[in-house]
Structure 1
Amino acid sequence: MNNTSHDYDAILIGAGPAGSCASAILAEYGHRVLVLEREKFPRYHIGESLIPFTFGPLERIGMIPKMKASHFVKKYSVTFVQPEGRRSQPFYFFTRYDRETVAQSWQVLRSEFDQMLLDNAREKGAEVREQTTVNRLLMEGERVIGVEATDRTTGRAYEVRAPIVVDCTGKEAFTSNKRGWRLRDPYLNKIAVWTYYKDSKRGEGIDEGDTTVAYVPDKGWFWHIPQHDGMTSVGIVAEGKYLTRDGVKDPKEIFHREVEENLWIKDRLSVGQSTGEYFITSEYSRHSRYCAAPGLVLAGDALAFLDPVFSSGVMLALEGGQLVGEAIHEGLVAGDLSPARFTEYGATVRQGVENMRKLVYAFYDPNFSFREVIKAHPDAAGQLTDCLSGDVNKDFTQLWDWIREFVPLPDDLPYGEPAPEGDALATA
């Protein structure tokens, strides 16, 4: 590390799941941590379904007792529904895992969940400044040494310095956009339209909180996520040319037209009331070419984000936040925060992303069927459950070989390593 005077040991840009998890870990170790967040929490965010392997990072930062005491709906399974309404047997997590750990997860309201995560980081000692915009990275040669930020409530601009800056800016992808590292997935570029319903139909008992993936033609799909207080998150994801066919661009019109394409979804929404607000977004899947540069590391959605069909986003963000928090702590103790220190971190994150990415690619292939793969290879059921549950850092070679008997799968993208010397000179 250099001789620059530091105001903090680490500066994190963004207070979503990755930023809150990493800052909680660093603060718990006694490091001076500053979190800069553009919005005022609680704030709205999509992505409400937690898959089972969020348990590990949540447990690491002391969140499990808070989650168990919350009013979030418990989630025990995921179910798939054909357009004509035929419903698969639920993939119950407890058939594979210990009921006291990852066998159950939650359907959350992200405004509340993210507030809980951020409050947890504060309780552990992290300093949080909300309504703060990061304008630019401060550079000393090729090394990031801090940030220039603006307090949006006062308009005051100031600089803060630290030996490491962590980009946790989510979809905004502050660093990879500035440096030209942000890359779209070669295929996974969809549009989503969604809304919320009050008191629509849902399952009973253990099935009340299951996530349902309901197919529509051309490999589009609905998500159906029951939440607390009688609310349900419902959205459609598909190719833009499919959703905007015949020149239709109004999200409400798109949504209600597509409801007619799946009988199960139509039945679920035949009672209850829409909140009346409809959302639309595009370009779900994206990747940063690099994970780190001198004085800088990326985490969570700022590093990579996949199509949400299997609800992997929050788990990958929390896991990435945990990994990067531990890696930074070790680097601070060792006096070494060089980009090379984050090589293993980047490789671990990319392994998880690539494993889940293969399953997402298979899902969108019209020749793929969970049922047919399991029929041909019964042992695939357990491995599919593992991947769907978020146990993504393991060797799935056998599973991919079985699936390749039905559909092609993509090669791993050559991303996730620290930037080579010279790339850090790009505009920041």
Structure 2
Amino acid sequence: MSDNGQYDVLLIGAGPSGSSAAALLAEYGHNVLLIEREKFPRYHIGESLLPFTHEPLKRLGLIERMRASAFIKKYSVQFVSTSGKASQPFYFNTRYDDDVAQTWQVLRSEFDQMLLDHARDKGANVVEETKVLDLLRDGDRVTGVRVRQPDGTEAEYRAPITLDCSGKESFAASRNRWRVPDPELNKVAVWTYYKGAKRDNGIDEGTTTVAFLPEKGWFWHIPLHDDRVSVGVVAEGKYLTRDGVKAPKDIFHREVTQNKWIEEYLAPGKSTGDYYITNEFSYHSRHCGCEGLLLLGDAFCFLDPVFSSGLMLALKSGVMAADAVHAAIEANDFSPAQFEDYAATLREGIENMRKLVYVFYH
């Protein structure tokens, strides 16, 4: 830790984008501080990796650790019609090279802890249970953050560049009023976890299943290790809350009866008892940052859970941001112009996913 609170880079949030960027920046030799509001390990939704996450995980040096983990291997995705008929799984090896044709379904408390531990191992300074209260500024330039420490006292940390990796809280975008909701994706998600539910065998054990509902809604069914399944329903709020039903548990169990495949696979199991709900989760930021500030992952944009793009974009943006920030430090230039390539690449990836999501719902 720096005695005077001065660092090369500050990072807000120790999720996948923050921990991956911190690890690589520390590996470059920079003095970085990763600030996390919670105490890890902690719960988080978003458990399915895409084949495209192989590249950032390889860059981080974590492929062998993933292979040795207990995470369920994922080889495919399948779709289930409203009548409950399952498609033939789409196996990734029919489209992608062998080294990326298998990925994983992860329990985020364990996966995110692994990434945070990796950042620490690389030399990143980490403070947990520390809440960022505000951005410090010199005119239009961000110069650091003000935080509340675990003992309740406040402190200031400063750096020429701050990375907002705060996830869907989107700390900087919300504070700067950059956050823009996507009216085309005004959905509600309700989810829980099951133990003892039916699952397939062999390479199909880790298949992600998307099961359709009659009113442009769908279920996700994601097998996890420890005999756990993540299962949730996504649809428009007016559909899910029809007839005055508003309790997440009641919504969930009513919708289970709307798809025979979901009903059959959950029947032998039992919910762990916790039900979650979130709404209006699709948004983007008008800007990718400003002088001394850069947005990563969900802090910049979140689309929709249907293609499991959140973790991929988080990891990729973490790697890209680390390289971009390293170049900025070398050039001593932290202006938005310095990060134009990063912003353009991130926006392009998000827009490509957005088009796919729009097609899915329309």
- Give the aligned residue type for 2:133: N
**SS of match in other structure, 2:42:** coil
Q: Distance in 2 between matches of 1:141 and 1:98?
A: 49
Match of 2:75 in 1: 76
**SS of match in other structure, 1:301:** helix
Asked whether the 8 Å contact 1:185–1:286 carries over to 2, the reply is yes
Match of 1:107 in 2: 105
Asked whether the 8 Å contact 1:299–1:317 carries over to 2, the reply is yes
- Give the aligned residue type for 1:290: H
Match of 2:147 in 1: 149
Match of 1:272 in 2: 269
Structure with bigger strand share is 2
- Give the aligned residue type for 1:322: V
1:51 aligns with 2:50: yes
1:15 aligns with 2:25: no
Match of 1:185 in 2: 182
Q: Distance in 2 between matches of 1:182 and 1:141?
A: 21
Q: Distance in 2 between matches of 1:245 and 1:342?
A: 46
Q: Distance in 1 between matches of 2:301 and 2:105?
A: 22
Q: Distance in 2 between matches of 1:213 and 1:34?
A: 39
Asked whether the 8 Å contact 2:5–2:156 carries over to 1, the reply is no
Q: Distance in 2 between matches of 1:283 and 1:111?
A: 24
Q: Distance in 2 between matches of 1:25 and 1:337?
A: 18
Match of 2:156 in 1: 159
1:124 to 112, 122, 125: 122
Q: After the TM superposition, which residues 279-298 of structure 1 pair with which residues of structure 2 at under 5 Å, given as runs?
A: 279-298=276-295
Match of 1:306 in 2: 303
2:133 to 132, 135, 141: 135
Match of 1:262 in 2: 259
Q: Distance in 2 between matches of 1:11 and 1:89?
A: 46
* Cα displacement (A) at 1:347: 0.9
Deviations 1:76-131 (A, max 9, x none): 011000011111111111111222x2101100000000000000000000000000
**SS of match in other structure, 2:22:** helix
* Cα displacement (A) at 1:66: 0.9
**SS of match in other structure, 1:128:** strand
Asked whether the 8 Å contact 1:81–1:213 carries over to 2, the reply is yes
Q: Distance in 2 between matches of 1:175 and 1:334?
A: 24
Asked whether the 8 Å contact 1:13–1:168 carries over to 2, the reply is yes
Q: Distance in 2 between matches of 1:185 and 1:288?
A: 11
Match of 1:36 in 2: 35
1:239 to 231, 236, 260: 236
Q: Calculate the TM-score normalised by the size of structure 1.
A: 0.83
Match of 2:340 in 1: 343
The alignment's C-alpha RMSD in Å is: 0.9
- Give the aligned residue type for 1:106: W
**SS of match in other structure, 2:185:** coil
* Cα displacement (A) at 1:274: 1.1
Structure 1 runs of 4+ with >2 Å offset: none
- Give the aligned residue type for 1:321: G
- Give the aligned residue type for 2:80: V
Asked whether the 8 Å contact 2:182–2:283 carries over to 1, the reply is yes
Asked whether the 8 Å contact 2:186–2:236 carries over to 1, the reply is yes
Match of 1:393 in 2: none
* Cα displacement (A) at 1:273: 1.4
Match of 1:403 in 2: none
Asked whether the 8 Å contact 1:8–1:161 carries over to 2, the reply is yes
Q: Which deviates more from structure 2 when the two are superposed, residues 330-339 or residues 158-167?
A: 330-339
* Cα displacement (A) at 1:259: 0.4
Q: Distance in 2 between matches of 1:63 and 1:305?
A: 25
* Cα displacement (A) at 1:189: 1.5
Asked whether the 8 Å contact 1:6–1:163 carries over to 2, the reply is no
Deviations 1:279-304 (A, max 9, x none): 11111211000001011010010001
Identity of aligned residues (%): 64
Length, aligned pairs only: 359
* Cα displacement (A) at 1:337: 1.6
Q: Distance in 2 between matches of 1:189 and 1:39?
A: 28
* Cα displacement (A) at 1:186: 2.8
* Cα displacement (A) at 1:55: 0.7
Q: Distance in 1 between matches of 2:308 and 2:134?
A: 32
Q: Distance in 2 between matches of 1:271 and 1:113?
A: 28
**SS of match in other structure, 1:281:** strand
Q: After the TM superposition, which residues 386-397 of structure 1 pair with which residues of structure 2 at under 5 Å, given as runs?
A: none
**SS of match in other structure, 2:133:** strand
Match of 1:329 in 2: 326
- Give the aligned residue type for 1:304: C
Q: After the TM superposition, which residues 194-205 of structure 1 pair with which residues of structure 2 at under 5 Å, given as runs?
A: 194-205=191-202
Q: Distance in 1 between matches of 2:284 and 2:123?
A: 31
Q: Distance in 1 between matches of 2:192 and 2:127?
A: 31
- Give the aligned residue type for 1:148: R
* Cα displacement (A) at 1:336: 1.4
